[in-house]
């Protein structure tokens, strides 16, 4: 039986990965910031919170000198480093904390692996934000990194450390350059889940109107369980590598919102432009979307779309789920939760 250590097991990807690895028969140890106040709703929704092969350990990225003790306690075969201050917006408000949690903590994990047992395999959750404002699209593994946000810059550091420990010390260090990936387990601070949750509330008469930033912003959105599958495949490969994980297609926030309303049985029509743009419910003329310039991001990534050809060829990986089904799954989950009065 393999032992996998997942940092950030309470997050979207961590919970989905735990489920995937438990199904494979692994023992899974997941880290939480503080055991007493760990937020276990995702593990509970996936019905694995009480799984006999899942255990939880405290590990704060801001106290990552403890990485070696953690490894000595658990003796994992694989470490998936998914924990992070994962919000680009919050990284502008907390740049130093982001540097520590997103940039330095992975280095401490790599260093602990090198010292404790260099045979332990390591996965680093890198991000498309590392490309910043790319000059070419789609991006692949050879596209220059040019981050524009504190989050992106910290991810670049961790990515290069993963590559460096692979090249210098022969560690099995993998880096997955992840484009946005969504599911019903996404946190509500991210726009897709904000949309699905608000659409459910509007459908149930609990909210009048959804406020969004730039509706023209485009994202390469995939399905989180597909991306978790790619992580597992990378870690089972013969040799470690760097892979772009993306769908190769983009959609705008306007598109995503329209799909979400449709999934809830509401057809909408957009009117106006820029900050004056709104969307109305075709059935009753009520305004259900307004643009709020206060929600514009300081730096808006342009042309971020990935080319997953290497992952397709080397891992046999395919981002299978179409956006309308991802969105429908999210809206259905939020309709169920909101109808039951549950706020997650």
Binding residues (CB under 6 A) for ligand NAP: these are: 8, 10-14, 33, 39, 60-62, 82-86, 101, 125, 127, 178, 180-181, 187
Least gap, CB of 2 to ligand NAP (angstroms)? 21
Q: Which is nearer to ligand NAP, 32 or 210 (CB)?
A: 32
Least gap, CB of 326 to ligand NAP (angstroms)? 12
Least gap, CB of 185 to ligand NAP (angstroms)? 7
Least gap, CB of 22 to ligand NAP (angstroms)? 17
Q: Which is nearer to ligand NAP, 190 or 296 (CB)?
A: 190
Q: By beta-carbon distance, which residue lies closest to ligand NAP?
A: 11
Q: Which is nearer to ligand NAP, 95 or 286 (CB)?
A: 95
d(CA 329, CA 92): 31
Q: What is the 3-state secondary structure (H, E, C) of the chain?
A: CCEEEEECCCCHHHHHHHHHHHHHCCEEEEEECCHHHCCCHHHHHCCCCCCCCEEEEECCHHHHHHHHHHHHHHCCCEEEECCCCCCHHHHHHCHHHHHHHHHHHHHHHHHHHHHHCCCCEEEEEEEHHHHCCCCCCCECCCCCCCCCCHHHHHHHHHHHHHHHHHHHHCCCEEEEEECCEECCCCCCCCHHHHHHHHHHHHHCCCCCCEEECCCCCEECCEEHHHHHHHHHHHHHCCCCCEEEECCCCCEEHHHHHHHHHHHCCCCEEEECCHHHCEEEECCCCCEEEEECHHHCCCCCCCCCCECCHHHHHHHCCCCCCCHHHHHHHHHHHHHHHHHCCCCC
Q: Which is nearer to ligand NAP, 61 or 288 (CB)?
A: 61
Q: Which is nearer to ligand NAP, 266 or 334 (CB)?
A: 334
Least gap, CB of 83 to ligand NAP (angstroms)? 4
Least gap, CB of 30 to ligand NAP (angstroms)? 8
The per-residue b/e assignment along 224-254, b for 16 or more CB within 10 angstroms, e otherwise, is bbbbbbbbbbbbeeeebbbbbbbbbbbbebb
Number of residues assigned to the chain: 344
Q: Which is nearer to ligand NAP, 98 or 198 (CB)?
A: 98
Q: Which is nearer to ligand NAP, 177 or 288 (CB)?
A: 177
Least gap, CB of 127 to ligand NAP (angstroms)? 4
| Alpha carbon separation from 325 to 23, 156, 221, 280 (Å, rounded) | 24, 32, 12, 23
Least gap, CB of 89 to ligand NAP (angstroms)? 12
Least gap, CB of 327 to ligand NAP (angstroms)? 15
Q: Which is nearer to ligand NAP, 48 or 84 (CB)?
A: 84
Least gap, CB of 252 to ligand NAP (angstroms)? 17
Q: Which is nearer to ligand NAP, 62 or 209 (CB)?
A: 62
Tokens of 240: 């470690």
Q: Which is nearer to ligand NAP, 101 or 195 (CB)?
A: 101
Cβ contact 177:244 at 8 Å: yes
């Amino acid at each position: 039986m393999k032992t996998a250590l997942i940092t950030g097991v309470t997050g979207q990807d961590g919970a989905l990965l735990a489920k995937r690895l438990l199904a494979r028969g692994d023992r899974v140890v997941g880290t939480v910031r503080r055991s007493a106040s760990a937020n276990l709703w995702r593990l509970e929704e996936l019905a694995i919170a009480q799984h006999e092969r899942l255990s939880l350990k405290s590990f704060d990225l801001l106290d990552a000198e403890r990485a070696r003790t953690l490894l000595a306690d658990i003796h994992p075969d694989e470490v998936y480093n998914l924990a992070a201050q994962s919000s680009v917006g919050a990284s502008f408000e907390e740049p130093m904390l982001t540097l520590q949690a997103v940039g330095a903590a992975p280095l401490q994990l790599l260093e602990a692996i090198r010292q404790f047992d260099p045979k332990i395999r390591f996965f680093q959750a890198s991000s498309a934000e590392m490309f910043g404002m790319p000059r070419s699209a789609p991006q692949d593994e050879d596209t220059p990194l040019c981050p524009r946000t504190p989050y992106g810059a910290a991810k670049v550091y961790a990515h290069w450390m993963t590559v460096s420990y692979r090249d210098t010390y022969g560690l099995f260090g993998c880096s997955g350059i992840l484009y946005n990936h969504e599911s019903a387990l996404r946190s509500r601070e991210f726009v897709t889940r904000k949309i699905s949750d608000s659409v459910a509330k509007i459908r149930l008469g609990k909210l009048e109107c959804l406020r969004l930033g730039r509706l023209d912003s485009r994202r390469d959105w995939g399905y989180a369980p597909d991306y978790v599958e790619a992580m597992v495949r990378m870690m089972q490969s013969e040799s470690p590598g760097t892979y772009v994980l993306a769908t190769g297609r983009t959609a705008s926030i306007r598109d995503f919102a329209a799909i979400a309303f449709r999934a809830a049985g509401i057809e909408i029509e957009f009117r106006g432009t820029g900050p004056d743009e709104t969307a109305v419910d075709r059935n009753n003329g009520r305004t259900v979307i307004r643009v709020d310039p206060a929600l514009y991001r300081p730096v808006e990534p342009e042309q971020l779309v990935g080319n997953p050809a290497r992952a397709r060829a080397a891992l046999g990986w395919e981002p299978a789920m179409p956006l309308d089904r991802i969105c429908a799954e999210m809206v259905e989950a939020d309709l169920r939760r909101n109808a039951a009065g549950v706020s997650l």
